[in-house]
Amino acid sequence: MTLSGKAAIVTGSTSGIGLGIAKAFAAEGCSVLLNGFLPPGVSEAELIAEVAGDTGVTVGFHGADLSKPEAVRAMVAAGEALMGKVDILVNNAGIQFTSPIQSFPEERWDAVIAINLSAVFHATKAALPGMQARNWGRIVNVASVHGLVASVEKSAYVAAKHGVIGLTKVTALENATRQITCNAVCPGWVLTPLVQKQIDDRAAKQGITVEAATDQLLGEKQPSRRFVTPEQLAAQVLFLCSEAAQGMTGVNLVMDGGWTAQ
């Protein structure tokens, strides 16, 4: 499944799932352009060094605000300038906000849709021409089980992730005769900063320990009662980007500890 000589952009890759995917790409000899908000106390140079390690691949960083279409286009252009091409696009960046629909702030709806859905469209649109010209490309959209099922108080997130699944299928169909695939991965609970915040909020609201809140969260949805790990998802993405997965396009690969089997 070597990706030696390939070049990838991974959005939302400064932590969590995206960082795990970026590190896996670099380990396979694939150049990477990182994107996202730098973690507190971590410099751009330190993050690049962490991902590059001793692989010898090119690793760069672009802090595009993905809510702005022009910034997304600039990020893809920067990736092409840095690496010479963009063979692989992983649309991973995402934000969350929870509230009942009747009290859901409209500006938060707009923000979630912009980052979780519209940015996927704008990045795909910008990266596709180069892939089409070279007749090779891999687009992997990190959706969620919430692209397939719903949960209360997550209207914007669920709507966006369902939209990502639909966009994945259209992208796949429009490029089906080329050596370009587009697939989605649909993780259940992964212990990312986004999920940790939900756990912390639950613990504070109910006056329980973080450990108890974690057990509650997993018990409600994920029968395995274990988090999916960024490393497991990275392996899934690597497979989708390999030649072995050339015949797979427009599919949703679910890794959710049994969530959607119920």
> Does 158 qualify as catalytic in the annotation?
no
What total number of domains does the chain contain? 2
Question: What are the mean pLDDT values of the chain's consecutive 10-residue runs (262 residues total)?
Answer: 92 96 98 96 97 97 98 98 98 96 98 98 98 98 98 97 98 98 97 88 96 96 96 97 97 97 95
pLDDT of residue 192: 86
Q: Do the domain assignments include residue 129?
A: yes
Catalytic residue among 25, 157, 189, 259: 157
pLDDT of residue 2: 79
How do beta strands 88-91 and 59-62 pair? unpaired
Residues 7/31, Cβ–Cβ less than 8 Å: yes
The model's pTM is: 0.95
- Strand (E) positions, the chain? 7-10, 31-35, 59-62, 88-91, 137-142, 180-187, 252-255
Question: Of 252, 189, 185, 253, whose CA–CA distance to 220 is shortest?
Answer: 189
Answer yes or no: do 21 and 138 share one domain. yes
Q: Do the domain assignments include residue 184?
A: yes
Structural domain span for residue 239: 7-188+229-256
Answer yes or no: do 41 and 159 share one domain. yes
pLDDT of residue 205: 94
Give 3-state DSSP helix, strand, coil % of the chain, rounded to 5.
Answer: 50, 15, 35
